[in-house]
Amino acid sequence: MSTLKKLFELRESLDTYERELGIDQLSEVEKAVLEFVMHKKDATITAITKNQYFTKYSLSTIKRAVGVLLSNDIISANQSNADRRAMILSYNQ
């Protein structure tokens, strides 16, 4: 039971951090995409879909989450210098 108790404590902490950052209104997938973009240099939709965590989400769900983050000006997308087909996602500080 102590493992489940610890897991709940972690969820409570995560909820607190999300409220403090002002991202508590985002969906779970939107928060996960945002956190990935903040964590990974040169994040792209392809990189997101190839990450093990995101295998449970469809490409359209990830694209929709990226669209929400872009439309709310939370992240931005700029064309990659290395691959003109790729858009590099970055956090708008």
> Phi and psi of 75, rounded to 5°?
-130, 165
Whichever domain contains 48, its CATH number is 1.10.10.10
* 31 belongs to a structural domain: yes
For residue 14, being part of any structural domain is answered with no
For the chain, what is the domain count? 1
Average pLDDT over residues 28-42: 96
Domain range enclosing 62: 27-91
Spatial CB neighbours of 87, under 8 Å, sequence gap ≥ 6: 44, 45, 77, 78, 79, 80
pLDDT digit string, tens, across residues 41-93: 899 999 999 999 999 999 999 999 999 999 999 999 999 988 888 999 999 98
Question: What is the identity of the amino acid at 90?
Answer: S
**Structural domain includes residue 19:** no
pTM equals: 0.88
Is residue 21 one of the residues assigned to a domain?
Answer: no
